[in-house]
Amino acid sequence: MVSGGVSDPFARRRTAAADAAIIGLMAEASRRARILVLYHSTSGNTKLMADLVAAGAASVPETEVRLREVAEAAADDLVWCDGVAVGSPTCMGTISWQMKRFWDETARPLWPTIEGKLGCAFSSCGGIAGGGELTCLALLAVLMNYGLLTFGIPDYVAPGRTLHYGAVCAGRPRDDADREACQRLGRRLAEWVQTLILGRPEHAPQAATYSRCT
């Protein structure tokens, strides 16, 4: 396969990107993890979730968190971060058009230069079995399209309450399990960034001292 030259969006960024990647990754032994919590909210419910996700990420040492509403987020926020938690209301079973527009238009010039970052998802939906899981999986597919590595969470935050493909609330976060699910998502994102991007295995979830299964 010969180089695609002008038509190759990877090629035209290669030398600079490679240098940046290598130098960057080697130089970052001492810097903080950078977590972006990017959300859209119509009723305010997904915003409440986003606040909790951000708090969970911030609970991990050496972690810096940016919380951005989608209308105010910029492509640079994605460039900045090591990992992103994306939250959207479930609208008719999938991502809201406002959040989708961000990935179709605002973020598009970055494709695929943000690859190798980590990503996860959360959603508020009208009801249990109302599409929150589908929205999370659709968000993860968008992130995979951009080359991010995505994850869900095996933990149970209460009996019968988990977040295997991202955190989901029916409406606003309502009880301890809802709140813990959102915080756990942010915390896990920061933990994986610390472990995999910044090379600090002491933050791996395998080393967690909090209960991961209630």
User: What residues from 24 to 83 belong to the interface with a copy of itself (CB under 8 A)?
Assistant: 24-26
Interatomic CA distance for residues 170 and 181, integer angstroms: 12
Tell me the closest approach of the beta carbon of residue 206 to a copy of itself, in angstroms. Answer: 4
What DSSP letter does each residue of 147-186 carry, written as one string? T-EE--EEEEEETTEEEBTBEEEESS--SHHHHHHHHHHH
Binding track, positions 160-199, relative to a copy of itself; x by CB under 8 A = xxxxxxxxx-xx----x---xx----------x--xxx-x
Of the pair 18, 71, the CB lying nearest a copy of itself is at: 18
By CB under 8 A, tell whether 86 contacts a copy of itself.
no
Interatomic CA distance for residues 190 and 78, integer angstroms: 15
By CB under 8 A, tell whether 109 contacts a copy of itself.
no
From 148, 173, 186, 187, residue interacting with a copy of itself (rule: CB under 8 A): 148
Tokens standing for 165? Answer: 């493909």
Piece of the chain touching a copy of itself by CB under 8 A; list 44-52, 58-66, 72-80, 99-107:
99-107
Taking CB under 8 A as the criterion, which residues in 128-147 touch a copy of itself?
128-134, 136-138, 140-142, 144-147
3-state secondary structure of 141: helix
Pair type for strands 33-39 and 63-69:
parallel
3-state secondary structure of 204: coil
Tokens standing for 184? Answer: 């756990």
Piece of the chain touching a copy of itself by CB under 8 A; list 44-52, 55-63, 67-75, 91-99:
91-99
By CB under 8 A, tell whether 88 contacts a copy of itself.
no
